[in-house]
Amino acid sequence: MRRAALAATAIVLLTVVPVPAAHIYLQEANYVLPANANSLVITVLADGGETVAGVNLYLEIQAGGPKFPVLVPDKPVDLTSAGLIFVGAGQVQLRDPGNSDRAIAVSATTSEPGDNRLATGTLALIKLSTVGVGNGTYSLAFSALGFNSGFTDADGVDVPTTFDSGTLTVVPEPVAWIQLLGLIGVGPAVLLCRRRLGK
């Protein structure tokens, strides 16, 4: 009877232990981007310390209107440069034909047997353009084309992966802010000057 109770306890303990998961997220939960700018770079990080051999990154910028931040035409997502988790690995990208400027799938896989990486550090750099984009907040999701982002092991099997989507907030250019602040500051000064002259 006692052995049966111990066995039942062991089974319960095994089912309670959470499965380790890698995690993908933006360096800043809300990136503030200047309007009318090209080649803005945002950083994607990973943690969890899982041993991985590949990653499938699915990104989509949710349109908030006719104009929204777009992925630059030339290599909008970098997974393999120096300082990134998959430095030196092979990279393949596929854009959504219907939304090629805001949805993309990018994969990186190590080519040598045993070349595994730790899913911790800087995973990717994303280049965006806000030229012609109106001020506002747009979401950047780690799911697109019907798939979710995630890591794979050396056999190509999915590694449990969680992710946090983020937001992109486009604001007026610094020059526009300075002009606006100038008008706000000059207006009261002019009124005050007129009142003094009127006396």
Q: What is the mean pLDDT of residues 2-17?
A: 51
Residue 195's pLDDT is: 57
pLDDT confidence band for 31 (50 / 70 / 90): very high
In a domain, 135, yes or no: yes
Does position 7 have pLDDT exceeding 80, yes or no?
no
In a domain, 102, yes or no: yes
Instruction: State the CATH number of the domain containing residue 34.
Output: 2.60.40.680
Residue 183's pLDDT is: 47
In a domain, 39, yes or no: yes
In a domain, 152, yes or no: yes
Does position 117 have pLDDT exceeding 60, yes or no?
yes
Residue 112's pLDDT is: 87
Residue 133: partners with Cβ closer than 8 Å, 6 or more residues away:
35, 36, 67, 68, 69, 70, 170
Q: Enter the tokens of residue 35.
A: 């309007």
**Domain around 51:** 20-190
Q: Enter the tokens of residue 88.
A: 């030196």
Which letter does DSSP use for residue 139 in this model? Answer: E
pLDDT tens sequence across 57-68: 999 998 666 678
In a domain, 132, yes or no: yes
In a domain, 154, yes or no: yes
Q: Enter the tokens of residue 68.
A: 């929204």
Contact present, 22 and 47 (Cβ < 8 Å): yes
Residue 189's pLDDT is: 53
Scored b (16 or more CB within 10 A) or e, 34-53 reads ebeeeebebebbbebebebb
Does position 177 have pLDDT exceeding 80, yes or no?
no
pLDDT tens sequence across 132-165: 888 889 999 999 888 999 999 999 999 999 999 9
Residue 111's pLDDT is: 85
Higher pLDDT, 189 or 37: 37
Which letter does DSSP use for residue 160 in this model? Answer: P
The most confident of the ranges 65-69, 73-77, 162-166, 173-177 is 162-166
pLDDT confidence band for 44 (50 / 70 / 90): very high
For the entire predicted model, the pTM comes to 0.77
Computed over every residue of the chain, the mean pLDDT equals 82
Residue 194's pLDDT is: 54
Q: How many domains does the chain have?
A: 1
In a domain, 117, yes or no: yes
Residue 11's pLDDT is: 52
Residue 58: partners with Cβ closer than 8 Å, 6 or more residues away:
104, 105, 142, 143, 144, 145, 147, 148, 149
Q: What is the mean pLDDT of residues 183-187?
A: 51
